[in-house]
Amino acid sequence: MKAKTLRRAVTGCALALAGVMALSIPGSAHHSTAMFAWGEEEALTNMTVERWEWTNPHTFLYARDADGNRWAFEGMSPNHLVRYGWSRRSLQPGQVIDLTYYPLRDDRNGGFNVTVTKQDGTHLNQFGEGGTQQ
C-alpha cells in the first residue's frame, strides 16, 4: 500500500510540474494589422512631432498637422528599426517632418508609419530602403 501511495504522489507532482512548465513557456502571439489599409500608402507634409515613443513591442509617433489636428502612428519595434538606422533620438518634439503611412481603416487620424523625411533631407524607412513589408 505504501508503494502505491508513493507512486501516486510522484505522478501527481510530475503532472503538476509539467503543467507549471507548460504555462511558463513564452507565447509568440502578435496582434493583427487588419486595422490598417496595408499597402495603400498616403503622404502627409509639414507634420510637427509631438512625441516619439521608443517602446516595445511597437514604436509610436504622435504629430500634429498644419491645422493642429493630432495624428498617431504605430511603427515597427525598436529592435527592427535599429537595423534600418533609427534610434530613440531619431525624432524630437517640435521637429517638422514629412511622412508616409498606411491609414487606419476607420478613417481616424493615424495609421502605420512607413517613412519619415526630415527637413535636412534625412530619410528613414520602417522597412529599409527596399520597400514595404506585409
Residue 132 lies in a domain: no
Q: Is residue 57, in this structure, part of any structural domain at all?
A: yes
What distance in Å separates the CA atoms of residue 130 and residue 128, rounded to the nearest whole number? 5
Q: Which residues pair with 71 in a beta bridge?
A: 63
pTM score, two decimals?
A: 0.74
20 is a domain residue: no
Indicate which CATH number applies to the domain containing 106. Answer: 2.40.50.140
Structural domain for 103, as ranges: 42-125
In the predicted model, is pLDDT for residue 15 greater than 60? no
For 41-93, the pLDDT digits (tens) are: 999 999 999 999 999 999 999 999 999 999 999 999 999 999 999 999 999 99
> Does the residue 21 lie in any domain?
no
| SS3 category, 5 | helix
b vs e for 71-91, b when ≥16 Cβ sit within 10 Å of the residue's Cβ?
Answer: bbbbbbebebbeeeebeeebb
Residue 23 within a domain: no
pLDDT surpasses 50 at 27:
no
DSSP 6-72: HHHHHHHHHHHHHHHHHHHSPP------TTB-TT--EEEEEEEEEEEE--SS--EEEEE-TT--EEE
Domain tally, the chain: 1
